[in-house]
Amino acid sequence: MRLTLGFLAALVLTTTFTPAASATSEPIRETAWVETGTDHDHDGKTDRVAADVIRPGARGRVPVILDVSPYYACCGRGNESQKKTYAPDGTPEQFPLFLDNYFVPRGYAVVLADVGGTNRSSGCFDDVGSGTAVVNWLNGRAKAFDAPDGGRPVRADWATGAVGAIGKSQDGATAIGMAASGIDGLKTVVPIEGVANNYAQLVANGAPLATPENTGSAFTYNERAAELCKPFEADIKARAGTSGDYNAYWRSVNYVPRPVRASVLIAQGFGDAVVAPNQFADWWAALGRAGVPRQAWLSQAGHVDPFDLQRAEWVAKLGRWFDRWLKGVRNGVENEPAVHLETTPDRWADVRQWPPATTSATFRPSADGTLGRRGSGTATVVDDPAIGREQWATGSAAARFLGAPLTSAVRLAGSPSVTITASSDQAAARLGVALVDYGPTEVRATANYGSGIRTLTTHSCWGSSRPGDSACFLDTATDLVHVDHEIVAYGSADLGHHASLRHGEPLVPGRAYAMTFDLTALDHVVPAGHRLGLLLGGTDGQLFDPALPPLGDTLTFDLARTSLTLGLTKPEH
């Protein structure tokens, strides 16, 4: 994440992105290769990030909307997996998503930057370093050139220096990391389903979710980086370790505790199993404690951009948000309700805070299969890594405990926690827990990594189309399914980390250990007549890499010393 500062080039030697002398309404499309100040691929040259620029053709200085991504060539962006395309002379042609189509005619530049080592960038996967280098260039503090090697210097003298970083998934994680870096000029970030704590994304409370071979960013690399970046990736894996311990590396990529100077508009789906909602909840709470201007767009969907949930409302919100924080327009957006919340499928409400004020309630399981105020007895589970929590919910490979039918609807909100007391007959054991709403209902189809939306054949258009870059996108609709249960929160842990995430230890077979950890955050209304269920198991086959070695253990849960704590309140809407 090293930055290049203090760049000043003589005007006579600098190529600038300026419009032709005659005014034109056609946007200017260019690429700047921005120096990052690093040589991660060890080729003896300073790494350069390819920043594709589209900006108004006949205006003065404009603010920038920036999306830094590794996916512009390998995988695409948005519901239609759009990739960047280029004219025969290398000029950027298709800019994925609607940002360029909608915002460039409204006086913004849009910059789509390739993370180091991906698409047309050199270097290796340093996403935050790639993004901050571009912000530095846009503020005159870093060098850029008009070619990937050599070339003439270029300046962003058309930019005001005000930058907003936006993006979904990895792009959202990069925006969060950029905000945590404190980079000057980054005025706002809009992370969508983004990771704030990389440890929690890749390690479940001491239990690594995948083998080292199945982690990392190698699948996004261009052909050159795939070879040159092997030492870079190996170094990261070595620093991360395989023990599951929360070490210096994981602290360096945990952005939750870092101070943030930019405002934040964050989007998250409570049904997202790709980036679990505790990523949002933990960072949201930290932003609130620090007094950061923040708003949230929360749905019951999976790993989905709000553009594919409420298209008109989201685009309008982005317009007001960027106008306020990038142009300084006093439009009052910061005074709007802090949270736009989908309470049940397609029912939305604007609320002033999240989570709401709740009453804490603790439930305990009993050997007779009930879930109530008191717990008793034991339960035994044979670990089976081939079975996951959805199968647990129907009675396979986990112990199930049910509460009494609810006499009235109740809203569960916030981050539930569990305290598990268990012993294993082996020196290692994974714990798996799920909270289930049992009862017939209709929900977004998010089970087993579903998105909760379906793609239609009609289109809607958002901004100005150009040859090779349409502003029209396939419409979407809610994907509903009738179910008899819904898993609303879950979590896993390594029992060997019961005392501390910093240091795991081998278990003494037969000895009971107590461990407390959070489940995924939720905002869920349980209807009257439904029952809450608690599932206790071992390895969650939906969460853990099947290439991990099976532990082959049998767990015995001490139910009198096992509990679930929830935040409860009455449904408001």
Residue 128 CA to residue 254 CA, distance in Å, equals 12
The enclosing H or E element of 537 equals strand 531-537
Residues in the chain: 573
Residues in CB range of 541: below 8 A, 6 or more apart: 384, 385, 386, 387, 388, 391
Residue 487 CA to residue 449 CA, distance in Å, equals 12
Residue with tokens 């309700």: 337
The enclosing H or E element of 167 equals strand 159-168
Tokens of 473: 């996108």
Catalogue the E-assigned strands of 23-108.
28-35, 48-55, 62-69, 85-86, 92-94
| Active-site annotation holder among 47, 272, 523, 558 | 272
Quick one: the chain helix, strand, coil %, rounded to 5? 20, 35, 45
The pair phi, psi for residue 19, each rounded to 5°, is -70, 160
Cα–Cα distances in angstroms (integers) from residue 458 to residues 445, 461, 468, 473, in the given order: 21, 10, 19, 8
Sort 8 into a burial class: Cβ within 10 Å, 0-12 / 13-18 / 19+: exposed
The enclosing H or E element of 483 equals strand 480-494
Q: How far is CA 179 from the centre of its chain?
A: 14
| Active-site annotation holder among 121, 122, 130, 169 | 169
Catalogue the E-assigned strands of 367-479.
371-372, 378-382, 399-402, 410-414, 417-424, 430-444, 453-461, 472-478
Q: In what order do the strands lie in the sheet with 430-444?
A: 399-402, 531-537, 430-444, 480-494
Residue 236 CA to residue 125 CA, distance in Å, equals 10
The enclosing H or E element of 175 equals helix 170-181
Q: How far apart are the first and last CA of the chain?
A: 45
- Asked if residue 417 lies in contact with residue 517, where contact means CB atoms within 8 angstroms, the answer is yes
Q: At what angle do helices 127-138 and 170-181 cross, to 10 degrees?
A: 60
One-letter amino acid for residue 146 of the chain: D
- Asked if residue 302 lies in contact with residue 446, where contact means CB atoms within 8 angstroms, the answer is yes
How many other C-beta atoms are found inside a 10 Å radius of the C-beta of residue 6? 9
Residue in 320, 359, 309 with CA at minimum distance from that of residue 479: 309
| Active-site annotation holder among 40, 303, 485, 498 | 303
Pairing of strands 294-299, 263-269: parallel
Q: Is 272 a catalytic residue?
A: yes
Q: Is 169 a catalytic residue?
A: yes
Pairing of strands 531-537, 399-402: antiparallel
- Asked if residue 494 lies in contact with residue 504, where contact means CB atoms within 8 angstroms, the answer is yes
Residue 61 CA to residue 54 CA, distance in Å, equals 13
Residue 444 CA to residue 297 CA, distance in Å, equals 17
Peptide bond before residue 259 is cis, with ω within 30 degrees of 0: no
- What residues act catalytically? 169, 272, 303
